[in-house]
Amino acid sequence: MSEHIPRDLSVFHQLVSDMFKWPATPGEWEPYRLNDEQLKFFADHGYISNIKLLEEWQVDLLNEELAEIIDPAHPDNSLFYQFFSNSSTDPGSVLFHALGAWRIKPGFHDILWNPAFAMAASQLLNDQNIRFWHDQLFCKPAKHGGVVAWHQDYSYWTRTTPMQHLTCWVGLDDATTENGCMYYVPNSHRWGLLEKPNLTGDMEGLLSVLTEEQKAGFNPIPIELKKGYGSFHHPLLVHGSYENRSDRPRRAFVLNVFAEGTVSGSDETLMPGTPAIPKGEPVGGQFFPLIIDRKLT
């Protein structure tokens, strides 16, 4: 019996399926551009939400892929950077969390080259070329889905500099307050870099490091979204999500990117299982592909 050799899709830096069509001319990019009002809202508040990124059939395809790779026995499981069937610190809750799905399944690979995502990400990072940082899957099962504690994304990413990063969260189910949608703390992207908490630990752990002024401005708002819709947020925006006690799952994926020219801040490997990029060298190569070159849009 021959040994199974995983097919690592990270070697392909373009679409590998017919899930999306990459625009060929500036005119074909126009439907995907955010407007000035949306860009101003992001600059003022640190986030923007309710951006349609996927059609229903695309969501269905991704959920089919997810049902396969969520199984720890999946033959390509070794391609994940990290894989936690349950990363919750609460023994009564479950939070599936994994990084690296883009290497395993064509749909999760091609969402990096979704034109609606790529153009919006570039615009929100001042029209720069965008490179992929890493993806995440967050799945909260019905009735006992765990929390994602209040945190800032960049507090986990300081091994890359300068801070010119962006996060996109996309629902694979309708996300509501009942099933554990994301909450943002508007304007918290101006608070500077805070200590990083345990991402799946005490929901309120971050509050202990806030100043009195920050506590007074800690006014989270729910980001309820239909499946296939997404939100983008600044790397310092405080956000988190409560447990899922509803009868419905809450599945989602996250795409994290940075502007081209970001450099390694460490001689250690940036993602588990990938070659180290020497400190001070630009981050790129097989595992950090260029998503969009704005000269071509």
Q: What is the pLDDT of residue 4?
A: 74
Q: What is the pLDDT of residue 3?
A: 67
Distance, in Å, from the CA atom of 121 to the CA atom of 113, rounded to the nearest integer, reads 11
Confidence class for position 1, pLDDT limits 50, 70, 90: very low
pLDDT, tens only, 29-73: 999 999 999 999 999 999 999 999 999 999 999 999 999 999 999
Distance, in Å, from the CA atom of 175 to the CA atom of 228, rounded to the nearest integer, reads 10
In CATH, which of 2.40.50.180, 3.90.1150.10, 2.60.120.620, 3.10.180.10 is domain 28-71+78-296?
2.60.120.620
Domain residues of the chain, as ranges? 28-71+78-296
Which amino acid, 175? A
Q: What is the pLDDT of residue 2?
A: 54
Confidence class for position 77, pLDDT limits 50, 70, 90: very high
Residues of the chain with pLDDT > 70: what percent? Answer: 99
The phi, psi pair for 130, rounded to 5°, reads -120, 135
Work out the average pLDDT over 265-294. Answer: 97
Q: Is pLDDT at 91 greater than 70 in this prediction?
A: yes
pLDDT, tens only, 160-170: 999 999 999 99
Work out the average pLDDT over 14-29. Answer: 97
Q: Give the contacts of 66 (CB within 8 A, at least 6 positions apart).
A: 101, 108, 137, 139, 172, 251
Determine the 3-state secondary structure of 11 from DSSP: helix
Q: What is the pLDDT of residue 272?
A: 96
**Encoding tokens for residue 53?**
């990124």
Q: What is the pLDDT of residue 6?
A: 77
**What is the overall mean pLDDT for the chain?**
96
Distance, in Å, from the CA atom of 1 to the CA atom of 178, rounded to the nearest integer, reads 48
Q: Is pLDDT at 174 greater than 90 in this prediction?
A: yes
The phi, psi pair for 39, rounded to 5°, reads -65, -40
Pair 185, 219: CB distance under 8 Å: yes
